[in-house]
Structures are given as C-alpha cells and as structure tokens.
Amino acid sequence: MKYIKYSKTKIGNIAILEENKQIIAIGIDQKVQNNVVQKDTPLLKEAQKQLEEYLAGERKTFELPLNPKGTKFMKEVWTALQEIPYGETKTYGEIAKKVGNPKAARAVGMANHRNPIPIIIPCHRVIGSNGKLVGYALGMDKKQYLLEWEKQNV
C-alpha cells in the first residue's frame, strides 16, 4: 500500500509518498500518481517534520528510510548526491568520477533529473562544470532558492 501526505511550504505544495515504511517519492507543485491513500503515517509525519526543519534552516541532514526506484547506476548517483555536504555543490563530472565512471557526466545529469526524492536526495547541489546552475526537474527558481538558502544557513 502506498500512502501520501500533502504539505504547504514556502517552496510550494509538497507531496510525500511512502511505500513499505520507506519514502519513495516527493513531488513539489506536481500531480502525484494515483492508487495512493492519503494518510498521516508516523513516517510521513516525520518526513514532513524534517522537511519543515530543513526549510527553517534547523536541519542539515535527513534521517529517513529511503527507497528511490531506479537503475543500479541511478541509485549509485543518488547515494553520491547524499554525500554532498549541506551548503556545498559538486559538478556532474565530479559525481561521475565518484561513481567510478568519469565519462558519465551526462548520465549523471539524467539520473539527477529522474531523482524521485528531491531535497532529501539533494540533486539541487549539482552544478555545471563552469559553475553555473543547469537543469533541475523542479525548476531553476527552486534550485537557486535551495542553494542560496543553504549557503545562508551553513
């Protein structure tokens, strides 16, 4: 059974999705899939609390059971993203090297784009090799906001 919890935040309306007592997705200002039950489970309440703490500048890391759906490579990228410290950035190339495939910067970009658990898996912390902000599935305005927010609260 999949459960969902909605929450209004300063960056938009967040939907948190749980399956088998693990967070599997977060949507921001997006339609979330059908076949889910809206329910305040303990895990969804905790996820909402941690997101609120992050957006208040009180939390730097998340402590939640995650199960993002993706290929082995995508999961390796998403694990590497979680190792980027709060308030810092890495390039797509640096992440490619980290996962053992230095020529896979574009594939890292695609994995980043398909990250089902943004913010908690901080894909917003990945930038272009020239230091510019490039691509973000939730919109460049949100990426810029999150990066600036973290730099202010380091």
Alpha carbon separation from 16 to 8, 20, 67 (Å, rounded)? 11, 13, 13
Query: CA–CA separation, 65 vs 17, rounded Å?
Result: 12
CA distance 149 to 147: 5
What residues form DSSP beta bridges with 17? 4, 25
* 59-87 mean pLDDT: 96
- My answer on whether 76 and 142 are in the same domain is yes
H or E stretch including 25?
A: strand 22-28
Count: domains in the chain:
2
pTM of model > 0.85? yes
CATH number assigned to the domain comprising residue 30: 3.30.160
Catalytic center residues: 123
Shared-domain flag, residues 129 and 97: yes
Distance (Å, rounded) from C-alpha 27 to C-alpha 116? 8
- Asked if residue 140 and residue 79 are part of one domain, the reply reads yes
Q: What tens digit of pLDDT does each residue of 102-146 get?
A: 999 999 999 999 999 999 999 999 998 888 888 777 778 889 999
Domain that holds residue 21: 2-55
Q: What is the CATH number of the domain that holds 84?
A: 1.10.10.10
**Maximum CA pair distance of the chain?**
44
